[in-house]
Chain A
Amino acid sequence: MDNIMECTGLSKIYKNAVALSGINLQIKKGRIVGLLGPNGSGKTTLIKLANGLLTPTMGNILIDGMPVGVETKKIVSYLPDHNFLTQWMTVDQMINYFSDFYADFNFERADAMLKNLGIDRTKKIKTLSKGTQEKVALILVMSREAQLYLLDEPIAGVDPATRDYILRTIISNYNEDATIIISTHLISDVEQILSDVVFINNGNVVLCGSVDDIRQREGKSVDELFREVFRC
């Protein structure tokens, strides 16, 4: 089983909008994949289908060869694009709460990241700034020893220095068989840590390939190619 995720004819249709229209996509194990597309292209829908928050209208999606369910949730670590922290808890309480849910939670890893980013664990979540809350959320998600990390806009709200730290955290903490899917539109920031990219537009996969192949073939960065493909 080389693929951690496989979509066949995957469609999601909301009441009067097509979010994904029959996509076919294979994501290999051990890769860092950028899921790139303009606003409203279907990135979040795809991520939500992969972790079972949504069910497909048609087609199917397999995670490590299994249909999405209890077993796949054990190996998928998901960072939503909105704040999911319980505001009245302290950072410590939040960590304990999260680790109660997930058997693969690694306390040492969480501890090291909190220290590096200088986050006070005794503080209540609601007293932290928006950026710091985002850091805590990412620390929780990256502290799991998962097979597939789904990060929906992980770096949007943090300063450039923290962005660098987070990207370094991502490449140093993931194990070689794990896969990370990062949805973002801040391409130039993440480009050098990505192995593959998937361009998605209007619910269709429009391009899919390795970053180095794209650079070699096009003679330009993925960021530049994106600006061309999605020129407004």
Chain B
Amino acid sequence: MSWSFSNDKPIFQQLEERIVLEIISGRYEPGSKLEPVRELAMTAGVNPNTMQRALADIENTGIIYTKRGDGRYITENTEIINEIRNRYVLKKTEDFIASVKALGLDEDGIVKAVREALKQGG
């Protein structure tokens, strides 16, 4: 199967995370059409019902929408995409901070470590 899933979370949540990530990372252009549910389910190797549920959830965030009888599209509204991207970046950064804080780094230490890593081309 092409996509791999971790054991600790429902599959539909993992599908949601992956698809949203593909949208905010620009793999899908704003306004472009999403593949049909069945095709996406095949690519991911999951039950079409599960994919359907994931897409319905993503739709609630406004980042994709349904055109009746035509399928799902990525929003043209780049504000929504940017907002979700910012939220994602913030979350990832918070996770990172939490993990290095656990090692005993203070604010200065964290900033220093980030600068160092950036310099090394990280």
Contact = CB atoms under 8 A, between A and B. Distances in A.
A193 B47 contact: yes
A195 B49 contact: yes
Contacts of B7: 215, 220-221, 223-224
Contacts of B38: 172
Given A167-B1, A192-B1, A224-B7, A212 B53 contact: yes
10 nearest A-B residue pairs (beta carbon):
A221-B7, A212-B10, A215-B10, A216-B10, A192-B46, A195-B49, A193-B47, A195-B47, A219-B8, A212-B12
A192 B8 contact: no
Interface size class of B (residues with CB under 8 A): 10 to 19
B9 interface: yes
Contact of A167 (B8, B45, B49, B53): B45
Interface residues of A, number: 23
Contact of B11 (A32, A167, A192): A192
A214 to B, nearest CB: 8
A168 B45 CA distance: 6
A172 B42 contact: yes
A212 to B, nearest CB: 4
A150 interface: no
B32 to A, nearest CB: 24
Contact of B50 (A164, A212, A223, A224): A212
Interface of A: 30-32, 164, 167-168, 171-172, 176, 192-195, 211-213, 215-216, 219-221, 223-224
A195 B45 contact: no
A212 B8 contact: no
Interface hub of B41, B44, B45, B47 (most chain A Cβ within 10 A)? B47
Given A193-B47, A195-B50, A168 B42 contact: yes
A89 B11 CA distance: 43
A171 B11 contact: no
Given A193-B45, A212-B50, A223-B7, 11 more contacts: A30-B49, A32-B47, A171-B46, A192-B1, A192-B5, A192-B11, A195-B47, A211-B11, A212-B12, A213-B10, A220-B8
